[in-house]
Amino acid sequence: MSHQKIKDLLIDYLTETTKEVRKEAALGKGREILGEVINRPEDIDIGIDKVGEEVLEKLLKKYKIAATIFSEPEARDIKNGDHLYGAIDPFDGSALYLKGLEHNWYTALSFYDKERNPIATGIADILNEKFYIMNNGSNYLFDVKNGEKKEIYPSRKKKITDPIVLASYLMKSIYSEKFLDIFGDLVKNMHPKGLLYPQGGSFIYAYLAAGLVDAYVMFDEPRSEIDAGFPIAKKAGCSVVCVNSDGSYKDYEFLPGRQHDKIDLFIASATPELRDALIKHYVKKYAEKYSFKS
């Protein structure tokens, strides 16, 4: 399969989905509730979520690419062949869109070969019309408005005492309660110029790859929020791991058809040193709160 062909499809996907979502939003459409999301009591599937899926299905036919694409609503997985795997988050920001908030609207798409190795990733910042691309071994940002293209690189911060940008999705209590229970002390003691960025999902890996965010920490993170975006951070050299309660960890891997599973503790960090510092904090707080005391 030609890398150029996949890149062309990826750019077309980001371009067309950005255009169609902006058009739907301008008309006030896409807020109808379609149903629940499997294993996600906090989430719902709305009309705007279908836009990217429909664009991708059309483009796969146009480029004659045979692939199995996994999406959040399992009933809408795209299966037109088995030459490639894909993971799509057709619209990241549904909760905000449903409330009428024009903030953090993204779409993300990644392709994997049959051995589950990442091939390409595209993440579109829909409101600002910027595309974050990983393809053929390089990461770059493309600004649609002015046509500028530039390479992107992650942060090199190594200490949690540095003025880091720490991200975690905190807008819903199902996630914020666990995070603050363990990492609340760390947040209270952050560097005065540090920042807790209360957002996350598939777009956050573009921010990691571009050095806008230093680390992303989530409890019970759904795989559907990881698979469509994490390869761009991985290619940038970021550490992307699943962590056990004893502090041991393993690299995160894409598993086809497992998009509804969740990761108990998930950490993506710009450097291994920052990863280790976050894990050390977690192990200490976990032992204090949950270990049996004699």
- pLDDT for position 294: 43
Residue 84 and residue 186 in one domain: no
Instruction: Specify the pLDDT at position 79.
Output: 67
Q: What pLDDT is attached to residue 289?
A: 83
Q: Are residues 145 and 18 in the same domain?
A: yes
Does residue 136 have a pLDDT over 90? no
* pLDDT tens digits, 234-284: 999 999 999 999 999 999 999 998 888 999 999 999 999 999 999 999 999
Calpha distance 73→222 (Å, rounded): 13
Is the per-residue pLDDT at 180 higher than 80? yes
pLDDT of residue 191: 98
pTM of the entire predicted model? 0.93
Structural domain includes residue 274: yes
Whether residue 145 is found in the same domain as residue 206: no
- Phi, psi (5° rounding) for residue 137? 85, 5
Computed over its alpha carbons, how large is the radius of gyration of the chain?
19
Residue with tokens 């991200």: 167
Domain co-membership, 215 together with 138: no
Same domain, 107 and 198: no
Report pLDDT for 82: 66
Is 96 in the same domain as 199? no
Residue 221 is predicted with a pLDDT of: 97
Q: What tens digit of pLDDT does each residue of 158-171 get?
A: 999 999 999 999 99
User: Is residue 156 in some structural domain?
Assistant: no
Residues 42 and 139 in one domain: yes
In-domain check, residue 47: yes
Rounded Cα distance between 254 and 196, Å, is 27
Counting beta carbons within 10 angstroms of the beta carbon of residue 233, is it exposed (0 to 12), middle (13 to 18) or buried (19 or more)? Answer: buried
Residue ranges at the known binding site: 72, 89, 92
**b or e along 199-224 (b: 16 or more beta carbons within 10 Å of the residue's beta carbon)?**
bbbbbbbbbbbbbebbbbbbbebbbb
- Residue 34: per-residue pLDDT: 76
What is the overall mean pLDDT for the chain? 92
**pLDDT at residue number 182:** 96
Could you tell me the residue range of the domain that residue 245 belongs to? 165-290
**C-beta of residue 121 within 8 angstroms of C-beta of residue 134:** yes
**158, part of any domain:** no
104 and 178 share a domain? no
The answer on 194 and 135 residing in a single domain is no
From 151, 186, 217, the end of a domain falls on 151
In terms of pLDDT, which residue wins out, 79 or 202? 202
- 69 and 179 housed in the same domain: no
In a domain, 134, yes or no: yes
More confident residue, 80 or 247: 247
Which domain CATH number covers 29?
A: 3.30.540.10
Say whether both 78 and 105 belong to one domain.
yes
Would residue 128 count as lying in a domain?
A: yes
CATH code of the domain in which 264 resides? 3.40.190.80
What whole-number distance in Å separates Cα of residue 257 and Cα of residue 260? 8
- Give the residue, 250 or 45, on which the prediction is more confident: 250
**Of 151, 183, 213, the domain-final residue:** 151
Which DSSP category does 75 fall into?
G
Per residue in 91-130, pLDDT tens?
998 889 888 999 999 999 999 999 999 999 999 999 999 9
Q: What number is the average pLDDT over the span 188-208?
A: 97
Per the domain annotation, does 157 fall within a domain?
Answer: no
Taking the CB of residue 166, how many other CB atoms lie within 10 A of it?
A: 23
Indicate the annotated binding residues for Mg(2+). Answer: 72, 89, 92
Lay out the sheet containing 106-112: strands in order across: 78-79, 67-70, 84-92, 106-112, 118-125, 130-135, 138-143, 149-151
Helix 49-62 vs helix 3-26: angle between axes, to the nearest 10 degrees? Answer: 150
Write the CB contacts of 11 (distance below 8 Å, at least 6 apart in sequence).
122, 131, 133
Do the Cβ atoms of 245 and 178 come closer than 8 Å?
no
Q: Are residues 265 and 180 in the same domain?
A: yes
Q: Which of 151, 182, 213 is the last residue of a domain?
A: 151
Question: What integer is the mean pLDDT of 168-188?
Answer: 95
Number of domains in the chain: 2
Is residue 159, in this structure, part of any structural domain at all?
no
